[in-house]
Amino acid sequence: MTRKVLVTGLLGQDGSNMCEYLLSLDNIKVFGMARRLSNPNFSNCDSFLNHPDFQVVFGDLTDQYSLDKLVQEIQPDYFINFAANSFVGISWDMPLQVFDTNALGVLRCLESIKRYQPKCRFYSAGSSEEFGDVVYSPQDMSHPLRPRSPYGASKCAARHLVKVYRDSYNLYAVHATLFNHEGLKRGKEFVTRKITQGVAKVHQEFFDAEKWRQRKGEAPTVTPIELGNLEAKRDWSDSEDFVEGVWKMLQMDEPRDYLLASGETHSIKEFAERAFFHAGIRKVYWEGEGVDQRLLFDHDGHHQVILVKVNPKFYRPAEVELLWGDPSETQKVLDWKPKFSFDNLVERMVLYDIDIRREENHGKTLRAQQM
């Protein structure tokens, strides 16, 4: 029997990766939900938009009517919610919208399921930002909720709502605390993609043969990447690993909450350094402290090139200094382990962005030749 899955957040990283993963399985019909936008970007969905078992549907977590209509019409066996305002930094600028989407949006999903398809299995995407001002490391599911951003608070509310509806109405509802996860579909507003796209730009500036000849051996001129708190540490994984783990959660006999993480922590500074390494820019070193820190490239022993510098405007009002997850319980319960390491993740993202930039420049060259 074909199972029907409604996935929200279609246009984002996790939603599109989940749809792609589900369509690789047998006997599954996927409905990917997106908001009605004047100019939607379906680039993350190119690989499956025309799949016979996939259908785009439109709805919004802030609109109860649209969710009710979808659940009534589709009668999904699974409802996987990846839709959210998931950029932590912006949550101080628009806290009401973030809370409406991330917390009340989950409540609306639960209400639709309760009313129109109570046998549907529901998944809510949580965040390590729920732990916030951590009291011990690594963090496990017993760690207290101590958010330090409106975003983190919205995800804490969602976690509580899932438990309340699970206990009150006997719904199969799961909330999973997801530590930072990135990948080839990550939005450019996130620091990891900002780094890898910046590295790709520097790589182009470094290795453009014609420009290099014009410099006659002089140090290359590049565009430094501007970052905020370089010392902040995160537990990074690959989104493609996480969507498989999420599906496993929904196949268990009983619902419960989970935690997905790599079990390692790395600083923003380390992410940036590894990104340059995988771009072939390796004679680098850090200089300075605090807001004066810079990553430099030693061109020839006499000329140093600034690759990364700190811009205080990217600091958050309340910074989370360390997030480091303990996935051991989840790994045991689900028999799940990630396929990609931290270094694999950084390498994949950097090489992908270098390829994209190379293709874009090739296209520009062809267009110029045709003019």
In Å, what is the CA distance from 216 to each residue of 110, 205, 220, 300, 306? 65, 14, 10, 13, 19
The whole-number pLDDT of residue 236 equals 97
| Out of 22-36, 168-182, 354-368, least confident range | 354-368
Banded pLDDT at 359 (limits 50, 70, 90): confident
pLDDT band at 37 (very low <50, low <70, confident <90, very high): confident
Instruction: For residue 212, name the pLDDT band (cuts at 50, 70, 90).
Output: low
pLDDT of residue 300: 66
Rounded to whole angstroms, the maximal C-alpha distance in the chain is 73
Q: Among 32-46, 53-67, 141-155, 207-221, where is mean pLDDT lowest?
A: 207-221
Fold observed for domain 3-178: Rossmann fold (3.40.50)
Portions of the chain given CATH number 3.40.50.720: 3-178
Read off the pLDDT of residues 95-142 as tens digits, 9 standing for 90 and up.
Answer: 999 999 999 999 999 999 999 999 999 999 999 999 999 999 999 999
Exposed, middle or buried: residue 94 (CB in 10 Å: 0-12, 13-18, 19+)? middle
Which of 53-67, 73-87, 208-222, 287-301 has the weakest average pLDDT? Answer: 208-222
Q: What is the CA radius of gyration of the chain?
A: 22
pLDDT over 90 at 32, yes or no: yes
- Tell me which fold the domain 191-230+267-322+342-370 belongs to: UDP-galactose 4-epimerase; domain 1 (3.90.25)
Residue 371, pLDDT score:
47
Region(s) of the chain under CATH 3.90.25.10: 191-230+267-322+342-370
Contact 136, 144 (CB under 8 A): no
The Cα 106–Cα 254 span in angstroms is 20
Which candidate, 11, 62, 18, places its Cα nearest to that of 34? 11
Using the predicted structure, report yes or no on whether residue 365 has a pLDDT greater than 60.
no
C-alpha dist (Å) from residue 364 to 43, 206, 327, 358, 360: 20, 19, 45, 10, 6
Per-residue confidence band for 38, with pLDDT thresholds at 50, 70 and 90: confident
Spatial neighbors of 28 by CB under 8 A, at least 6 apart, are 2, 3, 4, 5, 22, 53
pLDDT at 301: 66
Q: Residue 316: its pLDDT value, please? A: 87
Residue in 92, 94, 100, 16 with CA at minimum distance from that of residue 61: 100
